[in-house]
């Protein structure tokens, strides 16, 4: 997709969500262990959960499950019983659950102070705006592309409403690259530590522990992910031959 169109449609997706995932709200207890989320970027129901994580300033290990993906989808079926997304696992409470609205309520009850904000608490409105946001980015972050498996998950500093961060998350999702998502929405108390590490308040920022690379700029990050992890035609053919053998 043309870069200008890419950014314009990503901005439109952010506007469609009426401010959800933009800023941190009142925070409650902090989890000792990192939450885990199986999801895919193009899914409107997954979008609602990512909004909640941003607004609650929660980190999560993200296991991308795009359509056609074989890396993490089978795990959801094996552990949860069905191929439905999102699927959240909270190792702090032993809870695991499907259903985006149930997850949102759980997150705000457990790690917030009070109920979810109106953008997420009015379920029909939240679902409709999430679907509109996905419609602005048809197919982006929705389908798997052949890729190399990283030895360790990557790390991404991001927040859900950022149109630039969305482009990077879509690339990570399509390539089925697992990553630790650090949310740093506006008002996040995590921003100070992030600036100390990165040198400035700018997102997205990607760190790849497998190569030692750290970088800003969504276009550069997407290019890096393609060059480092996407399989070319010859590699895909070899991978298919290995599977067949």
In percent, how much of the chain has pLDDT > 90?
A: 92
User: Higher pLDDT residue, 232 or 43?
Assistant: 43
The pLDDT tens digits for 65-93 are: 999 999 999 999 999 999 999 999 999 99
151: three-class secondary structure by DSSP: coil
In terms of Cα–Cα distance, which of 136, 167, 31 is closest to 94?
Answer: 31
Q: Which CATH class is domain 3-18+26-229?
A: alpha beta
**What confidence tier does 241 reach under pLDDT thresholds 50, 70, 90?**
low
Per-residue confidence at 7, pLDDT binned at 50, 70, 90? Answer: very high
Crossing angle of helices 3-16/123-136, nearest 10°? 180
- 238 pLDDT higher than 70: no
Burial class (CB in 10 A: 0-12, 13-18, 19+), 44: middle
Q: How far apart are CA 184 and CA 203, in angstroms?
A: 9
**C-alpha triplet 113, 118, 119: angle, nearest 5°:** 115
Residue 233 has pLDDT above 70, yes or no: no
Residue 86: φ, ψ to 5°: -75, 165
Q: What is the mean pLDDT of residues 1-9?
A: 87
Q: pLDDT tens digits for 19-47?
A: 999 999 999 999 999 999 999 999 999 99
Q: What's the whole-number mean pLDDT along residues 151-168?
A: 97
Neighbours of 10 (CB within 10 A): 23
Average of per-residue pLDDT values in the chain = 94
pLDDT score of 232: 77
CA 75, 81, 87, 92 torsion-angle sign:
negative
Per-residue model confidence (pLDDT) at position 242: 52
In three-state secondary structure terms, 223 is helix
Share of the chain above pLDDT 70, in %: 94
């Amino acid at each position: 997709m043309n870069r200008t169109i890419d950014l314009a449609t990503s901005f439109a997706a952010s506007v469609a969500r009426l401010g959800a995932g933009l800023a941190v709200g009142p925070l409650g207890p902090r989890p000792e262990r990192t939450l885990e989320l199986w999801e895919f970027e193009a899914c409107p129901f997954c979008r609602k959960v990512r909004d909640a994580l941003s607004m609650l300033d929660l980190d999560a290990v993200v296991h991308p499950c795009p359509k056609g993906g074989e890396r993490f989808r089978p795990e959801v079926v094996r552990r949860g019983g069905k191929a439905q997304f999102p699927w959240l696992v909270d190792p702090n409470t032993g809870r695991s659950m499907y259903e985006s609205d149930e997850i949102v309520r759980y997150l705000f009850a457990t790690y917030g102070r009070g109920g979810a904000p109106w953008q997420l608490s009015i379920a029909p409105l939240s679902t409709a705006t999430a679907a509109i946001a996905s419609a602005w980015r048809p197919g982006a972050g929705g389908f798997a592309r052949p890729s190399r498996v990283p030895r360790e998950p990557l790390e991404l500093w991001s927040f859900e409403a950022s149109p630039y961060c969305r482009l990077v998350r879509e690339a990570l999702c399509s390539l089925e690259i697992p990553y630790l998502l650090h949310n740093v929405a506006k008002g996040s108390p995590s921003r100070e530590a992030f600036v100390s590490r990165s040198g400035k308040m700018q997102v997205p920022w990607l760190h790849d522990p497998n190569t030692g690379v750290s970088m800003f700029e969504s276009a550069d990050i997407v290019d890096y992910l393609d060059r480092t992890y996407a399989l070319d035609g010859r590699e895909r053919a070899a991978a298919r031959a290995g599977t067949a053998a």
